[in-house]
Amino acid sequence: MNRRSFLRAATGAAGATLLRPDGVWGNTSTPADLLLRGALVYDGTGAPPFEADVAVAADRIAAVGRKLGVAGEVFDLRGLALAPGFIDIHSHTDRALLVNARADSKVRQGVTTEVAGQDGSSMGPWTDERLARIQSEFRDAWGIRIDFRDLGGFFTRLEAQPPAVNLASMVGAGTVRGYVIGEEDRPATDEELARMVALVEQALQQGACGLSSGLEYVPGASATREELVALAVPLRGTGLPYASHIRNEEDGLFGAIEEALHVGRRAGVPVQVSHLKAQGRRNWWKAAPALGMLESARAAGVDVAFDCYPYVAYSTDLGGLFPVWARLGGTSAFLARLEDAALRPRIEAAVRDKVERLGSWDAVQITQARSPALSWATGRRLGELAAERRTEPYELLVWIIREDRDRTGMV
């Protein structure tokens, strides 16, 4: 029996009310490889915890109850809590699992299943040019060989070298757009859209568990509503969701939510609004109306849900401090706009407004820089770095973006 079945079945096993008079749920006739003895079991349903043994045979929970007997390996968990593994439904560790299959940071939090391919970006499909860049990156940084170019190949690689966690992946609408159109900021032609739809269909056949979009990122930000609907149509009837990092989580929150709902209605598919938030103090009042929009849509028949994270920071690219319009067209176009005297004041004003909503320049912490020459900035806050270097924070930000070619991370 898998973990999901255990969640359902163990509900009746809470407290002293087990499924059988002898206080055992499951099959005790199957020899157990592993016995977890005397744990306080939280079954994941919200029911009160109960003390029990849990027997595991192969990779399945075989039985739950008291005094189950012996097994090949026994762990005494008296005084400890035991729960089914957590499912991280919005994960970005698809790349990381190729570097560290132990997945320590997730396993130590109790995560056993992850859903990756989020925010419009997935491990393929990749063009020859994109594949060459990724191969170079993995080879130079970690000495790892990348021998696949689509999700089917990625899944095959994971099956050959299984990580410590289970992994499912969506196909990224941004990745698909990048494969067909590149980073050009324009609508797809009919022929290009047909090719993109075919790539989504292929990814679903290879095992993708849905379609994701990242509409604040390049190239996903260039997608029209009609493009998103067309890419989501192959999901119809499968039960698989369209998950969206919506186009705006700040001043334009309501319109961005409506766009996600529009895709769900037109394509006839479930919708997942990723990491729902009303960002910036001036937008906090929008949280309740945003929830109201989702509740009204559900009442009207749209299968929509959302997720959120339980902390007040977010992790993304440092370039995310700049307005989307300034980043459209890819890195070269973005860097050129930073040098455009006619655009510079407008860009700077937008960035300063964003930082003011975040609180201050010290609210921005650099998490990684690709260029070794910028290693001194990793882990530091923009405000304190600017003070140390006796420069203006905005000018330092632009300089880092240029030096690292917009590959710097922040939280």
Per-residue pLDDT band for 73 (boundaries 50, 70, 90) equals very high
Which residues partner with 305 through β-bridges?
272
* Coil vs helix vs strand at 352: helix
pLDDT of residue 19: 41
pLDDT of residue 5: 42
Token pair belonging to 273: 């609004």
Domain boundaries, the chain: 3-84, 87-306, 316-410
Return the minimum-mean-pLDDT range out of 114-123, 264-273, 308-317, 328-337.
308-317
DSSP 3-state percent helix, strand, coil across the chain (nearest 5): 45, 15, 40
| Mean pLDDT value across residues 318-324 | 97
The answer to whether residue 376 scores a pLDDT higher than 60 is yes
Per-residue pLDDT band for 25 (boundaries 50, 70, 90) equals confident
CATH class of 3-84: mainly beta
pLDDT one-digit tens code per residue, 165-214: 999 999 999 999 999 999 999 999 999 999 999 999 999 999 999 999 99
Domain spanning 87-306, CATH architecture: Alpha-Beta Barrel (3.20)
| Mean pLDDT value across residues 387-411 | 97
Name the pTM for this structure: 0.88
pLDDT of residue 22: 59
Alpha carbon dihedral 293, 296, 297, 301, in 10-degree steps, equals 170
- Alpha-carbon gap, residue 164 to 151, rounded angstroms: 19
Per-residue pLDDT band for 18 (boundaries 50, 70, 90) equals very low
| Mean pLDDT value across residues 384-403 | 97
Q: Matching CATH topology for 3-84 and 87-306? A: no
The answer to whether residue 254 scores a pLDDT higher than 60 is yes
Show Cβ contacts of residue 149 under 8 Å, excluding neighbours closer than 6 positions. 124, 125, 126, 131
pLDDT of residue 23: 64
Kindly report the average pLDDT of the chain as a whole number: 93
